[in-house]
Amino acid sequence: MAARKPRTRHPHPHSPPHPPPGARTRPHEDAPDTAEAQRRIAALPEGPEKEALREQVVIAWIPMSERLARRFRHRGESAEDLRQVAALGLVKAVRRYDPARGSAFESFAVPTIVGEVKRHFRDHMWGVHVPRRVQELRSRVRTVRHELLGTQGRTPTAAEIAAHARMSEEDVLAAMEALDSFAPASLDFATPGAEGRTFLDTLGSEDPCLDFVVDRVAVAPRLRELPPRERQILYLRFFRDMTQTQIADQLGLSQMHVSRLITRTCRRLREEVEAAGRTGDAGPAPGRGGRPPAAAGPPHSPRARPRRRGA
């Protein structure tokens, strides 16, 4: 059987010409040839001429940095900020590049720019602070999760992700919790299963009674020192919520007399507490067994004999 004659390919009339043998090809259209300028930068001492050449190289490579910045769009950061961060990485790459090492500038600049953008996301874009180790685990788990989702057609379990990524299930679970920590939900979002109720509505508020805890602790030992009648009047007024007239009827006093006793006793307690606060005196020693004395309560003495009003 005769050998088949190879077909001769004719170039398309509109196809670009092939580069000559030995010529350097550019992987991207935004990769300019600045090798000569960078060699001059490496040879020049620090000064205005060197800075001017660096600025020219940065301007020439700006399109490439913007292309790399577009890889990170739709991740919660504005396009303008991404371009700024990528340009900063380009400036660092131009300053650190050493042509004497023999590598092309693009192979050095790309990881420098991408690393600067990733560092920006790591340090400034997390809504909740997450340790760096967990951030790295999150990136690995997210990549493996997408791969398994494409091959299995369903969401993989933590055990499957751990086996595929050669990680422990504890690390996978920690990384999956961090997946939602990059951009936390707003407090104005509606809570699941509660129509018209937001997360803000579920937050607690400061208890106004906390302001009175110190006052009650400070006045409790001094209530124990009051005469039984004054203690009973304060107990009925402030703990039983009785009116002055009801107290007067129960104790056989006039309403005016009850009012004067309440005012005088409260003034005395206030002055004693304020004086103790100035001197640092905590008040009388606790009762038996080291327990603090009780607050106002009904006296244990027999009930006073009713007297005629106006006594």
Give the C-alpha separation, 122 to 161, whole Å.
23
The reported pLDDT for the residue numbered 85 is 94
Report whether pLDDT(9) > 70: no
Is the model more confident about 145 or about 307?
Answer: 145
How does pLDDT run across 86-121, given as a tens digit for each residue?
Answer: 999 999 999 999 998 888 999 999 999 999 998 888
Beta carbons within 10 angstroms of residue 175's beta carbon: 26
Q: Are 213 and 173 in contact (CB under 8 A)?
A: no
Q: What is the pTM of this model?
A: 0.45
The reported pLDDT for the residue numbered 58 is 94
The reported pLDDT for the residue numbered 210 is 81
Give the C-alpha separation, 143 to 104, whole Å.
29
User: Region 3-20: what's the mean pLDDT?
Assistant: 46
The reported pLDDT for the residue numbered 281 is 59
Q: Are 78 and 55 in contact (CB under 8 A)?
A: no
How does pLDDT run across 154-213, given as a tens digit for each residue?
Answer: 888 989 999 988 889 898 888 887 776 666 677 777 777 667 778 777 787 788 778 788
Query: If pLDDT is split at 50, 70 and 90, which confidence band does 143 have?
Result: confident
User: Region 6-26: what's the mean pLDDT?
Assistant: 44
Q: Are 169 and 159 in contact (CB under 8 A)?
A: yes
The reported pLDDT for the residue numbered 306 is 42
The reported pLDDT for the residue numbered 177 is 79
Give the whole-number percent of the chain exceeding pLDDT 70.
76
The reported pLDDT for the residue numbered 256 is 94
